[in-house]
Structure formats: C-alpha cells, structure tokens
Amino acid sequence: MKNKISMAVIRRLPKYYRYLKEMIDKGVDRTSSRELSEIIGFSASQIRQDFNNFGEFGQQGYGYNVKALHGEIVKIIGLDKEYNMIVIGCGNLARALINYGFGDVGFTIQALFDNDPAKIGTEFHGVEILDTNILETYLSKNDIDTAILCVPGKNAQGIADRLMVCGLKSIWNFSPVDLRAPEEVTVENVHLVDSLMTITYLINK
Amino acid sequence: MKNKISMAVIRRLPKYYRYLKEMIDKGVDRTSSRELSEIIGFSASQIRQDFNNFGEFGQQGYGYNVKALHGEIVKIIGLDKEYNMIVIGCGNLARALINYGFGDVGFTIQALFDNDPAKIGTEFHGVEILDTNILETYLSKNDIDTAILCVPGKNAQGIADRLMVCGLKSIWNFSPVDLRAPEEVTVENVHLVDSLMTITYLINK
C-alpha cells in the first residue's frame, strides 16, 4: 500500500465496502468502474484512481472480481480484525450506540464509564458501568483501541486528555466540541447538532 | 447573500457558531480572523473568505464584533426560526436522538412513526407513535420541514420516496444506506458505521 492516502479517499472506502457487499448479496460476480460509478455516484475515473491507491485490483477491459475487490477493501479498512472499545458517559446516546451495534465492524465494548453514583456498578447489555475515576487504572491493565466519548461538552477535553495520557490512539467523539489532540491520535467527530444545522441552512436557501 | 455557497463553507458555519457562542459566554467582545484561526484551526484568510460570502462583517484593522458576527451566523444558518420534524423508525437510536435534544436548533418533534403494533399508540417523551401506514395522511394535514429516518437499511429508500412524494424537502438520514433523491431535496447522512470504519483504517495505518 502506498503511504499518503488522502482523507477524502479514506472516507469513500466504507461506501465501496457497502455497495460491493450489496452486489455480493445479489450474486453479482464481476463489475466495472463504469458500473460502480452509476451505482455509487462517483466518476469512473475517480473510482479507478481510488482503487489504484491500494494496488492493482482490476484488469483492463475485464473489470473487477466483486468478491476479491470486496475482500481487499475489508483488509484495507481493517474489518478483518477485532477491536476493543470503551464508552465514557452512559447517557441515552451511548446506550443507543451500544444497542445499535456496529454492523460488520468487529468492535467489542469492554467497559462503560460514568461518574454518576446511581449508574456505577450497574450493568448495561451485560457490560458493567465503572467509575470514571478509575479510567487510568483500567487502561493500564486493559488493551483498548478506541474510546467512544459521549460526555457533556464541558467535560470532553478533560476526559480526552486523560485518555491520551494513557496512550489511547483513537477517539470516536460524540461530545459537541472539537477536541485538541496531537496528529498521531485519531479523533473522529460525529457532531449531530452541526449536521442538523446544515439542514436548517439548506431549508432556508 | 450571494447565491453559490459551497457545501464546504456551509459545513464550517456550525463551527463558527459554536466558537463564537463560547466567546460570548466568556465575555469576549471583539475578535479577529487571526484569533479565530488560532482557536478554530482554519487559516485566517479562509475565515475572512468564508465571512465575505455572506456580506461585510468586519472592519479592516478593527476586527469583528463577536455578538454581531454570532447574530449574523445565527440568521445565516437559520437558527432564528422554528422547524417541525417527524421521526420515522422508533428504535433505540431515534429514542436517543429525541432524548438528546438538538441544542440551540429550534426543532420540535411533532410526531413519531413506527410499523410495530406494540409501539403504535404509545407515547415517547409526550409525543404519540403513529402507524407508518398513515404517513401520507399525516403529511397532507401537517406542515413538516424535516424527517429523521431511523429505519433499517432495506426500508429506507421506500420510506424516503414516500416522504418526497408528499413534498418533504429534507431528510436527516441515520439509516445505513445512501438515499436516491432529486437535487432539490436535502439529504443529510449520518452514517455511523462509515464513521467507525474510518477509525479502524486509521488505527491500522
């Protein structure tokens, strides 16, 4: 794999993954960048360029083997591995995410954290809710890949700092603030209110 | 306001909104594109260019009045108005969104829809859950701006088509598929699994 893959390409990968999986489910064996373009909406040359970033998948005039291409994208995204996750802030959104599951992404939620004494010690979906105070102790003993941050905005940076001090390298941030983090830490923001504001803007246009 | 504002600019507006609000809360009266740049992380010239899209806010060498600028952005995003919303598919994610609220965005959820007989007729947060079968009747009698779509992927396009036939102009889509919609309909996707896949890719890099 070449080194410098742009974020724009990376953000298109899950889309390729989804559409190729749909094709497999429908029994489609082969496809072309032109056909993919019609389904996905990116240009055919964009699609060929994207796939070229990761190696030689297709054959000129012959197209792509859907299963092989899908398998490669699974490996590129890293869906062939298992990941460990913790959730911090067990409000409604966190509970919904836990219930919702993560489709084909192999994340196991190993622990939940909250600072509400009424929640600490209880279980949700078979996972115990621990005291946020013991976050550092917990992380020193457990191998965690990602934290889902669902705490109020005013607490988010403080918790993120503590996670990063403990060596955590990725945060899925649902708190309504932008986190300061060094470049080597992945912060993936899901700013729901920002997304909704885009709608109000476009409604009024 | 000029006509062709790019989606990239539109997606930066909620960020400006949030940071300026924080400044107001801290009692900051004036700011400059350079100061905003340090806080928000966009370049100063990017920020000036963005604001120029919407008119003449600042004064050279004098900077911006924080409250006035914030007020303008409120109007531009459309946060000075009230909106009516319905939710389709009352699973955990929908319930979390309803509980979560929408911050300063003035959306009122007028009705919830589901096709599960066990849910129909019950209430959630004081809003009745109606039968998805009566969606068209409901929309013909009520003035709704946006629908939150939280149905399973396989049902999403069908429901979206029904909404659009009824004249709905915007959909906040949490279903894990891409919706086909004409250009005049705003579809704002929140693809949670796609977002998580970005994390797995970056973890493995």
Per-residue CA distances from A197 to A88, A183, B36, B159, B176 (Å): 26, 28, 20, 23, 21
What tens digit of pLDDT does each residue of B101-156 get?
Answer: 777 788 899 999 999 999 999 999 899 999 999 999 999 999 999 999 999 989 99
pLDDT of residue A73: 92
Once rounded to an integer, what is the mean pLDDT over residues A138-148?
Answer: 97
Nearest CB to B195; choose among A76, A145, A188? A188
Which residues is B130 bridged to in the sheet? B113
Residues in chain A with CB shorter than 8 Å from the CB of B99 are 91-93
What tens digit of pLDDT does each residue of B172-202 get?
Answer: 999 989 999 999 999 999 999 899 999 999 9
Is the CB of residue A168 less than 8 Å from the CB of residue A140?
no
Per-window interface: B 55-84 vs A, CB < 8 A: 76-79, 81, 83
Token couple for A28: 């489609």
Nearest CB to A93; choose among B13, B77, B100? B100
**Mutate which of A38, A199, A204 to test chain B, going by most B C-beta atoms within 10 A?**
A199
Cβ-count burial B166-190 (b if 16+ within 10 Å, e if not): eebbbbbbbbbbbbebeeebbbbbb
* DSSP character at residue B61: T
What tens digit of pLDDT does each residue of B29-50 get?
Answer: 999 999 999 999 899 999 999 9
Residues in chain A with CB shorter than 8 Å from the CB of B196 are 102, 105, 107, 172, 188
